[in-house]
Chain A
Amino acid sequence: MAIATATLRDLYEQMLLIRVFETAAEREYKAAQIGGYCHLSSGQEAATVGATHALDAEDLLVTGYRCHGFALARGVSPEAVMAELFGRSGGCAHGRGGSMHLLDVDVGYYGGWGIVAGQLPIATGLALALVRQGREQCVLCELGDGAVNMGAWHESLNLAAVWKLPVVFLVMNNEYGMGTSVERASAVTDLHRRAGAYGLPAERVDGNDLIAVAQAASTLLSGARSNRQAAVLELVTYRYRGHSVADPGLAYRTSEEIAEHQHNDPITRTRALLSEAGVSDEQFDAMDTEVDERVAAAIAWSIASPPPPVSELARGMYAPGSAAQFARMLAGAPFGERELVFAGGLGE
């Protein structure tokens, strides 16, 4: 798959946006504007952007919790993502989800999920719904290298194979599941070979090679769309930061190891391709400036977005119409329950 220079330049800008966004998120976390867990994806930009680029507009995306980059690449605005990290009303989940639970169903993004491998059966079910509804789209389901040792991985690949479901499982192999290396965790470290147990096609690709990622993802997603052929795509990459912002990331690896991987930086590699294609330093500078401004604007917008009111504590928990079902549950309720949960109009 040849990628036109204009497209490559657009993908490069997405990668740049993710890197600058993640750097800003870490800074804001340390400034206590962002709380909870905050998993950064710096170093994984080519894998994230290349795979997401291979999706059609109507395809669906599901990810684990290291999801800021995927949300941005899929087209969720930096404002909606940053405001979610800030816990504000303007966030894509209205401040209810935070860093791990981004989503935007309008762009087919069905969630960042926080339990390792828990999103795999759900992605399988989304694919089942596509088939039932006669839609010729597919699902891309991202997971980490640690997720392949969960039972949900086995159950999902098996179901996807026996039911012929259009879902591609993207294993983001960044070499560590939290602080445990793939070698210490998996009996077979060539993770894509696991697909053979289910008769599924699989590919293992250099996840820092944007074009190789996009090509492999495009091939497997096409097979899912046209033949309902589930598949596994293993992208070998590396995360520069710790497991989360709270992890310095040095207890289980050395700074030399990290530095070595930074020589293989996906953004630098993609920039080299664009340079060869004639993009000038001035144009790169302009892109840097634009991305910096977009992230700064997202932060300013997030600060201005109001925190969700306590009166809406139960927002979304139940579907509209549920308040009548719960109306007879108030008597004898625990202290404060009536005011906190019910007064705001549960499910209305």
Chain B
Amino acid sequence: MNPTKTAPRGAAEGVANAGDSEVMTYRDALRLALREELQRDEHVFIMGEEVGVFEGAYKVTAGLLGEFGAERVRDTPISEEGFVGAGIGAAMLGERPVVEIMTINFLLVAMDQVVNHAAKIGAMFGGEVRCPLVIRTPNGAGNQLTAQHSQSFEGWFAGTPGLKVLAPASPADAKGLLKSAIRDNDPVLLVENLAIYKERGEVPLDPEFLTPIGLANVARVGSDITLVAHSYATVRALHVAEKLARDHGVDAEVVDLRSLRPLDVDTVAASVTKTSRAVCIEEGWPTYGVTAEVAARIQKACFDDLDAPVERVGMAEVPLPYAKQLETAALPGEDRIEAAVLATLGLRG
């Protein structure tokens, strides 16, 4: 399949008619995807801390234990290295585990299983065995959760060959990408976001609705500058784009990456070729981050088209403090994104 020819550009374009979709939260869209896939394939099962009786730390799995039973919605001990590895082993024997990690901060204690094991299986064993594992986990900050619970590490995993890393920003893509991840035959990390869970949007109800892996989405068409983002940074970028249009007459294009590995550089480059300017935004630290990679790709792919250096906005490079005004100052808020856009346009220094 060539995704450029057959895949919907916007997530909702895959819907036959408006009656097939429903407005729901990102959280509910994820749950819909899980329910549909649990119904579709008996090899799919959910595993994680508090996913069953407690109904999920962020309620994504609420109701699924009652519907599918404890064998398919499996509560685990607080034991990430153990149950992520168990997911890997089960996947190697043809199961389709969907492992929930309460937040991406806790995935670090299972880093060895993800990076040193899951990511290596395909290549290290010469393609003799596969690992169709899904890990879902939220990143993000903003609720005074402080240094150990406010991080966004998706770039670390996206930098690892052998993994696929997805980061939906809309309810429709939350459903479509989670379903694509579960049906994929490789280990996939699906990064959700604490602040997006409550965001609402139109979600196709077709159980065969899938968002293609490796295809970015032009979430807002514009002509003056390209904002490249993923996950919650896309939500921020879309708000900023509307404000720029209203207050400054700036028409910004927003590219929502959706997929970090594979990374759709073609869509980013096409946009920057058109606008000649780019600001890359992420929730995490920019140094060695997703925006670092995207900026490097832009400068190579669009060298002759750029009218300004590629700018980046992310979390201030400190362990996130508790005090509200410090936390707010450190996050890639809309004011900081707007200022970066105006500076890149030469409208404000």
Contacts and interface: CB of A to CB of B under 8 A. Distances in A.
B124 A97 contact: yes
Contact of A324 (B1, B122, B259): B1
B213 interface: yes
Contacts of A115: 112, 116-117
Contacts of A159: 76-77, 79, 82-83, 86
B38 interface: no
B48 interface: no
B90 A96 contact: no
A314 B127 CA distance: 10
A121 interface: yes
B95 A325 contact: no
A105 to B, nearest CB: 5
A189 interface: no
Interface in B93-147: 93-95, 97, 112-113, 116-117, 122-130, 132
A129 B90 contact: yes
Of listed A92, A129, A156, residue having the most chain B CB within 10 A: A129
Interface in A289-348: 314-322, 324-333
Contacts of B76: 159
B29 to A, nearest CB: 22
B184 interface: yes
A331 B270 CA distance: 10
A345 B298 CA distance: 24
B275 to A, nearest CB: 16
B190 to A, nearest CB: 14
Given A121-B113, A332-B301, A129 B93 contact: yes
A105 B126 contact: no
B112 A331 contact: no
A257 B71 CA distance: 51
A43 interface: no
B314 interface: no
A47 B264 CA distance: 51
Interface string A133-157: 1000000000000000001100110
A125 B125 contact: no
A118 B85 contact: yes
Contact of B116 (A95, A105, A118): A118
A39 B200 CA distance: 56
Given A122-B88, A155-B79, A332-B269, A327 B2 contact: yes
Contacts of B126: 91-97, 315-316
A96 B124 contact: yes
Interface residues of A, number: 56
B212 interface: yes
Contacts of B212: 325
Given A93-B126, A103-B129, A332-B300, A158 B89 contact: no
Contacts of B298: 332
Contact of B129 (A95, A105, A121, A130): A105
Contacts of A324: 1-3, 214
Contacts of A327: 2-4, 214
Nearest to B88: A122
A144 B332 CA distance: 47
A329 B214 contact: yes
Of listed A103, A158, A324, residue having the most chain B CB within 10 A: A324
A277 interface: no
A125 B3 contact: no
B64 interface: no
Contacts of A60: 93
A101 interface: yes
A63 to B, nearest CB: 13
A302 to B, nearest CB: 15
A123 B93 CA distance: 11
Interface string A145-189: 000000110011011001000000000000000000000000000
Contacts of B79: 155, 158-159
A330 B128 CA distance: 26
Contacts of B132: 319
Nearest to B132: A319
B263 interface: yes
A34 interface: no
B45 interface: yes
A60 B45 CA distance: 22
B222 interface: no
B186 interface: yes
A124 interface: yes
A325 to B, nearest CB: 4
Of listed B45, B123, B126, residue having the most chain A CB within 10 A: B126
B89 A125 contact: yes
A213 to B, nearest CB: 25
B215 interface: yes
B21 interface: no
B125 A103 contact: yes
A204 B85 CA distance: 27
A317 B122 CA distance: 5
A113 B262 CA distance: 27
Contact of B214 (A123, A132, A328): A328
A121 B85 contact: yes
Given A319-B185, A328-B4, A329-B262, A151 B122 contact: no
Given A122-B88, A152-B85, A319-B184, 17 more contacts: A111-B125, A122-B113, A123-B89, A124-B82, A124-B89, A125-B89, A128-B95, A133-B95, A316-B127, A325-B212, A325-B213, A326-B262, A330-B266, A332-B296, A332-B298, A332-B299, A333-B297
12 contacts: A91-B126, A101-B124, A122-B92, A130-B93, A133-B95, A155-B85, A158-B79, A327-B3, A328-B3, A328-B216, A331-B297, A332-B300
What 10 pairs across the A-B complex have the smallest Cβ distances? A121-B85, A125-B89, A316-B127, A155-B82, A94-B126, A332-B297, A319-B185, A125-B86, A332-B301, A325-B214
